Structure 1
C-alpha cells in the first residue's frame, strides 16, 4: 500500500521535525514607537499584565523573506509589565499566509489574523500598511534620512495569552496561560525615517483608540530573530474573559454555543 500521508508519523520523522535547524530568515520592515493615552494602555491590558512607567505603543510592519514565498507580517502592541519583566503586549498581528498564523496562535497564543501587509520603498520614500476588511487601519509614511548604528543583539519579550474557548460556550476549556515569548534579535541594517503614523478607524481593529501623541522613534531595518517561549503562569479565567474579544472579529464568538437540535429532530 502506498504511504497514507494522514497516517501516523514515525518517531524518527517527529524527532527530525523538532530538531531541524532552520537558516536565518531576514525581514525588511518599519518600526514606529510613540507615546499614547495612558488610560487606553491600562484599559487593554488583561491581568496580571500592568502598564509600565511610560504609555507606549509600537507598530512593526515587515516583509519576511521566507524560502519560496515572501510573508507580510505585522504587530501592533503596547508596553506592558508582568512582575519585574517588561515587554510588549500585541493586540493584533496581521499575517498574509495561513501557515504563519497556525504555529503562532496554537503554540504561543499569538493574536494573529489574516490580513494585508505592505512594505514599499521608492528611493528614500517609505510606505508601510496594515489592512484588514478593506481598511488600512495603520499606515506609516516617511523619508529615509540616513543610516543608524547597528545595535548589539538583544532579547525582547512579548506577552501572549494562550487559551481555547469552551465547547459549550461558557468560558474556556482549561486554564488560560500567560506566555513569555523571548526573541533574540539581530540587525544587519538600520536607517532613520522622518515621517508619520496614521491610525484609521476600524470596527475590527480599533487601534485608533491608542492615538499617536508623540512619535518617539521611526526606523527601517533588516532583522532576523529566533524565539523561545515559556508558560509564566496560569491565569484567572474570569479575569481574562472580558478581554477575549480582542482575539476575534466578532466579539460574540467566544460565547458561541453548539447548535441546538430542533424539536423532534434526531441526534
Structure 2
C-alpha cells in the first residue's frame, strides 16, 4: 500500500522535524514609535501586565522573503511591564499567509490574524498599510530622510497570553499562561523616515483608540530576528476573560455572520 501521508510519522521523522535548522530570514520593515494616551494604554493591558514607564505604542509593517514567496507581517503593540521586566504587549499581528499564523498562535499565543500588509517604496517615498476586512486601520506615508548608523544586536521582550477557549463557550479549556518571547534582532541597513502615522477607525482592530500624541521615530530597515519563548506565569482566568475579545473579531462569531439583505439595503 502506498504511504498514507496523514498517517503517523516514525520517531526518526519526528526527531528530524525538531532538529531542523531554521534558515536566517531577513525582512524589510517600517517601524514607528509614538507616545499615546496613558489611560488608553493602561486600559488594554490584561492583568498581571502593568503599564510601562511611558505610554508608548510600537507599530511595524514588514515584508519577508520567506522561501522565495513574500510574506507580509504587521504588529501593533503597547509598552508593558511584568515582574520587573519591561517589554511590549501586541494587540494585533496581521499576516498575509496562514503558515505565519499557526506556529505563532498555537505555540506562543501571538494574536495573529489574516490581513492585508503593504509596504512599498518608490525612490525616497515610503507607504505602508495594515488592513483587515477591507478596512485600513494603520497607514504611514513618508520619505526617506537619511541613512542611520547600524545599531548593535539588541533584544526585545514581547508578552503573550496562551489559552484555549472552552468547548462549551464558558471560560477556558486550558491555560491561560503568560508567555515571555525574547527576540534578538540584527540590523544590516537602517534609514530615518519623515512622515505621519494615520490611524483609521475599525470595529475589528480599534487601534485608533491609541492616538498618536507625539511621533517619536520612523525608521525603515533590513532586520533579521530570532526568537525564543518560555512560560513566565499562570494567569487568572477571571482576570483574562474580559480581554479575550482582543484575540478574536467576535468570540461567538455572531458579528461574522452575513448580513441579511434588508440590513444591507439600509
TM class by shorter chain equals over 0.9
- Please state how far the C-alpha of 1:251 moved relative to its aligned partner: 4.6
Secondary structure, in 3 states, of the residue corresponding to 2:175?
coil
- Please state how far the C-alpha of 1:252 moved relative to its aligned partner: 4.1
Secondary structure, in 3 states, of the residue corresponding to 1:22?
coil
Q: Compute the TM-score of the two structures, normalised by the length of structure 2.
A: 0.94
**Which residue of structure 2 lines up, in the alignment, with residue 247 of structure 1?**
247
Cα distance between partner residues in 2 of 1:252 and 1:245: 10
**Which residue of structure 1 lines up, in the alignment, with residue 185 of structure 2?**
185
**Which residue of structure 1 lines up, in the alignment, with residue 129 of structure 2?**
129
1:90 aligns with 2:95: no
- Please state how far the C-alpha of 1:250 moved relative to its aligned partner: 1.3
Secondary structure, in 3 states, of the residue corresponding to 2:164?
coil
Matches within 5 A, 1:15-30: 15-30=15-30
Distance 1:176 1:77, change over 3 A: same
**Which residue of structure 2 lines up, in the alignment, with residue 61 of structure 1?**
61
The number of aligned residues is 254
1:31 aligns with 2:31: yes
| RMSD over equivalenced CA pairs, Å | 1.0
Matches within 5 A, 1:46-195: 46-195=46-195
Matches within 5 A, 1:168-247: 168-247=168-247
Q: Compute the TM-score of the two structures, normalised by the length of structure 1.
A: 0.94
Tell me which protein shows more strand as a share of its residues: 2
> Does the 8 Å CA contact 1:110/1:160 hold for their aligned counterparts?
yes
Unaligned runs of 5+ in 2: 255-266
Alpha-carbon displacement from aligned partner over 1:69-106 (angstroms, at most 9, x marks no partner) = 11000000000001111110000000000010011000
Cα distance between partner residues in 2 of 1:251 and 1:53: 32
> Does the 8 Å CA contact 2:162/2:175 hold for their aligned counterparts?
no
Runs of at least 4 residues of structure 1 off by over 2 A?
251-254
- Please state how far the C-alpha of 1:31 moved relative to its aligned partner: 0.1
